[in-house]
Structure 1
Amino acid sequence: MDRIAITGGARLEGEIPISGAKNSAIKLMAASLLTDEPLRLTNMPRLADTRFLGKLLQRLGAEVVEADGVLGPETTLHTPEIVSAIAPYDLVRQMRASFNVLGPLVARTGQAKVSLPGGCTIGARPVDLHLKALEALGARIDLHEGYVYAQAPRGLVGAEIEFPFISVGATEHALLAAVLASGQTILRNAAREPEIADLAECLTKMGARISGAGTSEIRIEGVSKLNGATHAVIPDRIETGTYALAVATAGGQVRLTGTRHDFISALLDKLEEAGVEVTRHDDGVTITRNGGRLKAVEIETDPYPGFATDLQAQFMALMTLADGESVIRETIFENRFMHAPELARLGADISVQGGEARVRGVEALEGAPVMATDLRASVSLVIAGLAARGDTIVNRVYHLDRGFERLEEKLGACGASVRRLKGDGGEEES
C-alpha cells in the first residue's frame, strides 16, 4: 500500500493549476445515463473516484472514452441503451456517490436495482432522503438483502419535495431523476452548492428545463427526452481551498490558477482573519504568508455558502501552529475529527468533545508516521507535514488518490519535498 513521505520546512513558491471538481464530475458522469446520445465532459479530473464510476457506468451499458483535448483532460460517455439496470455491491461500495445512478436508471428505464452504499468512516450518511425523493416522484421502493429495488413502469411524475434538512446528495439525486419526470417538480430547502448549479447547467444543455439551481428552491419542468452535450466541469473548490491552506501553513507565495475564489469566500475570509494575505484574481487567487505566527480563529462548518466541512480537517492543520486557541465546530458530519489524534502524533495540542475541537497552537510540529482515515483527513496530514520539522510518513494514501490529482507533482513544483513510497517498498520521486 502506497505512502506519502514529506520532509517539512520548505516554503512554497510558484503556481498550482486547479483541476475539475470531483464532486461535480461524478454527478455529471451519472447524468450520461439519461440520454442515448454522447455527453462530452471537459476539464475532467483523473481520480480513483472517476475511474470507479466509469467502471460502473460501463457495466450498465456506457462507452467511456478518455482523451487529452485542447482544453485538457476530457471524457466522453455514451449510453445508446441500458444493458443492465443493476449496480452491484462490489462496485457501489468503492464510492458512495455511485449510488446516484439509481435515479437516472429509474427515470430512463422505469426500474433499477442498486446496492446500498454501506457505512462511512465520517458518519452514517444515510440515503433515506434520496429514497423519499424518488418515492415522491412515483417510484416504488423496496429494500431487500442490501439492495434498493426501484420501479416506475409508467415513468416518474413531478412532485413537490421539501427536504427536512439540506442534503447535497439528495438534492442532486432528485434533480437527476426529475428532469425526465412528467410535469413539474419543485425542490424546497435544496442545497446551494456550486456543484448543483453545475449539474443543472449541464442538464439544461442536454435539454432539461431547470430554474433556481444555486438557490434553496429549484423548479424542474420534466421533458420526455434529453440530448447529448459538451460541458466543462467547474474548478474544484475543495482542492483550491486545500492548496490555499497548504501555503498558509508552510509559508510562501503561490498563485492558484484556473479556479474561482468566490467558491471559497468563507475560507478566504477566515484566512485573512488569521493573518494570511489573500489576493483575488479573475482566474484564481494568490495566497501569501511571509513570517510571523498566525492568529487563532474560530470556524463552524455549514452548508454552502458557509465554511465547507470538506475543508475543516485542513483548517485544523493550519490552526495547530496559530498563536492562541481556536475552536472548530463540525455541524455536518459526526465522527469527522478522526484526524485530530493523528495531528497530535505530530505534536499538535487538540482536545475534542462531541462536535467541537479546541486547538491550542504550538510553536512547532515534529514529523512522525501518521495514518489517513478519510480523504480530507489524509490531506490535512500532508499539510501538517509540510510545516513539521523532519520527516512525516502518511499511510493509507489511497484516500488521497480518490480526490486529489497529481498532489505530489503540484506541491513538488512549488518546492515541497513530497514523495510517494510505493507499496512494494520502492520509491517514486515527486
Structure 2
Amino acid sequence: MSSVLTIRGGVPLSGKVSVRGAKNLVPKAMVAALLGSGPSVLRNVPEIKDVEVVTSLLRLHGVRVERDPHTGDLTLDPQDAKSAASADIDAHAGDSRIPILLCGPLIHAIGEAFIPDLGGCRIGDRPIDFHLDVLRHFGAVVDKRPGGISISAPKGLKGAKIALPYPSVGATEQVLLSATRAEGITELRGAATEPEVIDLIAVLQKMGALISVQTDRTIWIEGVPELGSYTHKALPDRNESASWASAALATRGDIFVEGASQRDMMTFLNVYRKLGGGLQIEDDGIRFFHPGGTLSPLVLETDVHPGFMTDWQQPLVVALTQADGVSIVHETVYENRFGFTDALRRMGATIQVHRECLGSVPCRFGQRNFLHSAVISGPTKLHGADIDIPDLRGGFSHLIAALAADGVSRATGVDIIKRGYEHFTDKLQALGADFDLEERA
C-alpha cells in the first residue's frame, strides 16, 4: 500500500497539536533495554514507524515488548534474548539504519550481531564506517557477508580510547551502548552532546552505568559487568516542534505545540524571533504564530548542538521563501540536504544552491563539490505541484510548502513521514488543513 496526499493550500493552520517523545531518542532507549537484566519501562513513546521497526527487531531477538493500550508506555524485557535469522532481520529493518545500534547491546547479551545492508534518508553519505570502526576499537570482529555484516567478540568487548573525526550523534550513541558493559574504561573524544544523547546517557545511568560528560566533548565510560532496568520518560521531540513552528509561519497561521520544550529549542527560538515569528512560551508548550506584516531575511548556519540543528533547516527554508529579502543558509552537517529545494523551485520559490561555503567559517564540505549553501529570495508566491517525498524532513517541508501554496498539490511517498511524525494527518486535520488521503495498492 502507498499513500497519496492531495492538498488544497492557502489555508492558515490554526489550533493545537501535541508532540511526544523524540524520534532521535526513543528507538535508542528501546535498544538500551537489551543491556539490562530485567524489564524496563519507557514513557512518552510516539506511534511512529521507527518505533515499530525497533519493536519488531527486538522481538525477533527474544525481547518481550508490550505497549500499554491506555498510556502508550512500553515495557521491554530482555531476559530471553537470542539470535535471529539474518533474513528476518533484513525483512523487518526495511530502510532503517537503527539495526547498527543493536550491535553492542547484542554482543553483550548473546555474543553476536548481524545487521543487513542499511538504507535511510537520502541527505548525504551517512556512512556506517564510524560505527564499524567504533566496534573494532572495542575488540569486535567485523565480517562482511552476503546481504549484511556479521559482528562478534570472542573475548568480549574491551574499553578503548576513541576520537571521532566529527561529533556524529550515531557514532556517539554506538560508543555509549557498547562501552557501558565493556571491560575497562572508555574515553570518547569529539563526542556529540545533543539533548537526545544526554537523555540516552540518563537512561543508561538509571540502569547503573558510570558515565561522565566533560566540557570539551569528552565522555568517560567506566564499564560495569551488569546493568539493571530503567523507568524513563523520553524528552519531547524538538524536531517535530520546530516543524510545526515553521508551518505556522509559512501558512500565516497560529499553532500551539503542546509538549514543546523551550530548554532544548533555545537556538531555534532565537532564529524564529529574528525571522519575525511570534512566540508565546508556556509551561506545557509553545505557541508559534505569524504576527502579521513582513518577515525578515536571515543568514543562518547549521551546526552540531548547541548550534542551529540541521533537522530544523529544511522546514524553516519554506518559511524563508516568504521573507522580504535575501536569506542565506549554510549547511555544515549533511552534504546533500538541499535536494528538497528542487520541488520548492517548481512551486515558485526562488532558491539557488551553491558549492561555496556561504557562511562565516568554511566548513568540511568546502572545495568538495557539494551543493551545501542556499540563497533564498522572497517573498515569492508558491503554487501547487506534484511532489514525490524524498526523505523525512524534506518531505515534511514539502507538505508545509503545499499547505502554504495557492492551488492543489499531490504528494506521493508520504509514508516516509510516518517514520518521525506521529499521526501527522490527524494533526493536519485538527489544524484546519484542506486535504484528502488516498491509499493505493
Q: Deviation per CA, 1:379-407: give whole Å up to 9, x if none.
A: 00111122111222221101111110111
Shift in alpha-carbon separation, 1:63–1:268, aligned structure 2, 3 A: same
Match of 2:183 in 1: 182
Match of 2:74 in 1: 75
Instruction: Give the count of matched residue pairs.
Output: 422
Match of 1:238 in 2: 239
Match of 1:49 in 2: 50
How far apart in 1 are the matches of 2:69 and 2:339? Answer: 38
Match of 2:388 in 1: 371
Q: How does 1:322-333 map to 2 (within 5 A)?
A: 322-333=323-334
Matched residue of 1:292: which SS? Answer: coil
Matched residue of 1:180: which SS? Answer: coil
How far apart in 2 are the matches of 1:317 and 1:358? Answer: 12
Match of 2:273 in 1: 272
TM-superposed CA distance for 1:215, in Å, is 6.8
Quote the RMSD (CA, aligned, Å).
1.8
Q: Deviation per CA, 1:286-332: give whole Å up to 9, x if none.
A: 21213222111122111111111112211111111211111111111
Matched residue of 2:254: which SS? Answer: strand
Corresponding letter in the other structure for 2:428: L
Aligned counterpart for 1:360 among listed residues 377, 402, 405? 377
How far apart in 2 are the matches of 1:213 and 1:390? Answer: 52
Q: How does 1:167-246 map to 2 (within 5 A)?
A: 167-212=168-213, 216-246=217-247
TM-superposed CA distance for 1:253, in Å, is 2.2
Q: Deviation per CA, 1:195-246: give whole Å up to 9, x if none.
A: 1111111111112122218971211111111112211111001001001111
Corresponding letter in the other structure for 1:260: S
Task: Tell me if the contact between 1:99 and 1:116 (Cα under 8 Å) persists in the aligned partners.
Answer: no
Identity of aligned residues (%): 37
How far apart in 2 are the matches of 1:104 and 1:21? Answer: 21
How far apart in 1 are the matches of 2:372 and 2:58? Answer: 37
Match of 1:381 in 2: 398
Q: Deviation per CA, 1:313-353: give whole Å up to 9, x if none.
A: 11111111211111111111122112111111211111212
**Do structure 1's residue 84 and structure 2's residue 83 form an aligned pair?**
yes
How far apart in 1 are the matches of 2:302 and 2:338? Answer: 12
Task: Tell me if the contact between 1:108 and 1:180 (Cα under 8 Å) persists in the aligned partners.
Answer: no
Task: Tell me if the contact between 2:40 and 2:76 (Cα under 8 Å) persists in the aligned partners.
Answer: yes
Match of 2:140 in 1: 139
How far apart in 2 are the matches of 1:214 and 1:198? Answer: 17
Q: Deviation per CA, 1:143-168: give whole Å up to 9, x if none.
A: 23343222222321112211111100
Shift in alpha-carbon separation, 1:328–1:303, aligned structure 2, 3 A: same
Corresponding letter in the other structure for 2:421: F
How far apart in 1 are the matches of 2:154 and 2:305? Answer: 36
Shift in alpha-carbon separation, 1:146–1:114, aligned structure 2, 3 A: same
Stretch of structure 1 that moved more, 234-243 or 301-310: 301-310
Match of 2:31 in 1: 30
How far apart in 1 are the matches of 2:311 and 2:210? Answer: 30
How far apart in 1 are the matches of 2:416 and 2:330? Answer: 23
Shift in alpha-carbon separation, 1:194–1:213, aligned structure 2, 3 A: farther
How far apart in 1 are the matches of 2:4 and 2:376? Answer: 27
Shift in alpha-carbon separation, 1:22–1:315, aligned structure 2, 3 A: same
Stretch of structure 1 that moved more, 370-379 or 414-423: 414-423
State the TM-score, normalizing by the size of structure 2.
Answer: 0.91
Matched residue of 1:263: which SS? Answer: coil
Match of 1:427 in 2: none
Corresponding letter in the other structure for 1:34: L
Matched residue of 1:241: which SS? Answer: helix
Matched residue of 2:162: which SS? Answer: strand
Runs of at least 5 residues in structure 1 that lack an aligned partner in the other structure:
425-430
Task: Tell me if the contact between 1:192 and 1:214 (Cα under 8 Å) persists in the aligned partners.
Answer: no
TM-superposed CA distance for 1:119, in Å, is 6.8
Q: How does 1:301-320 map to 2 (within 5 A)?
A: 301-320=302-321
Stretch of structure 1 that moved more, 364-373 or 236-245: 364-373
In the TM superposition, structure 1's runs of 4+ consecutive aligned residues that sit over 6 Å from their partners are none
Match of 1:287 in 2: 288
Match of 1:428 in 2: none
Corresponding letter in the other structure for 2:81: I
Match of 2:363 in 1: none
TM-superposed CA distance for 1:39, in Å, is 1.5
Stretch of structure 1 that moved more, 102-111 or 233-242: 102-111
Q: How does 1:105-184 map to 2 (within 5 A)?
A: 105-118=106-119, 120-184=121-185
Match of 1:11 in 2: 12
Task: Tell me if the contact between 1:346 and 1:366 (Cα under 8 Å) persists in the aligned partners.
Answer: yes
Runs of at least 5 residues in structure 2 that lack an aligned partner in the other structure:
355-370
How far apart in 2 are the matches of 1:133 and 1:298? Answer: 36
Stretch of structure 1 that moved more, 308-317 or 361-370: 361-370
Match of 2:423 in 1: 406
Task: Tell me if the contact between 2:99 and 2:115 (Cα under 8 Å) persists in the aligned partners.
Answer: no
**Do structure 1's residue 104 and structure 2's residue 105 form an aligned pair?**
yes
Stretch of structure 1 that moved more, 265-274 or 77-86: 77-86
Task: Tell me if the contact between 1:36 and 1:228 (Cα under 8 Å) persists in the aligned partners.
Answer: yes
